[in-house]
Amino acid sequence: MSQDEEWFEEQALTLRSDGHYDEALEILYRLEKTGIHRAAIVGVIGATLYYMKEDITLAMPYLREAVLLSPRSERASLALFHALFESGEIDAAFDEMRRYLKDNESPEYRRLLADMNSE
């Protein structure tokens, strides 16, 4: 990653942390086109759209792509799980959970399952 790209990524994350989501997304969309750290960038775009802008429809393709590009990323898997679950795609959400847990350990998924079983 070039120094310019690092600077832009830092700026995007700072803007996002400060609540300037649209400005952060603008930078992230530009970074996405470079192909550098694509899994991380699309993951941050998806998380920003889903958690901060509360737009599941726009977030979903980015969250799915983040999981495809980085299938062992717990963060990406959990974000996709929550988005699928919240959008009513319960079976798909649990398919994602099973996919991840098949080859990975996740205290967070285990906690979620325990919470769901206790309700």
pTM of the model: 0.86
**Mean per-residue pLDDT of the chain:** 91
Q: Which amino acid appears at position 23 of this protein?
A: E
Question: For 3-118, CATH number?
Answer: 1.25.40.10
The three state secondary structure string of the chain is CCHHHHHHHHHHHHHHHCCCHHHHHHHHHHHHHHCCCHHHHHHHHHHHHHHHCCCHHHHHHHHHHHHHHCCCCHHHHHHHHHHHHHCCCHHHHHHHHHHHHHHCCCHHHHHHHHHHHHC
pLDDT at res. 7 = 78
Q: Residue range 66-91: average pLDDT? A: 96
Reply yes or no on whether the pLDDT at 4 is more than 80: no
**Above 80 in pLDDT, residue 2?**
no
Write out pLDDT tens, residues 41-59.
Answer: 999 999 999 999 999 999 9
Q: Residue 64 corresponds to which amino acid? A: R
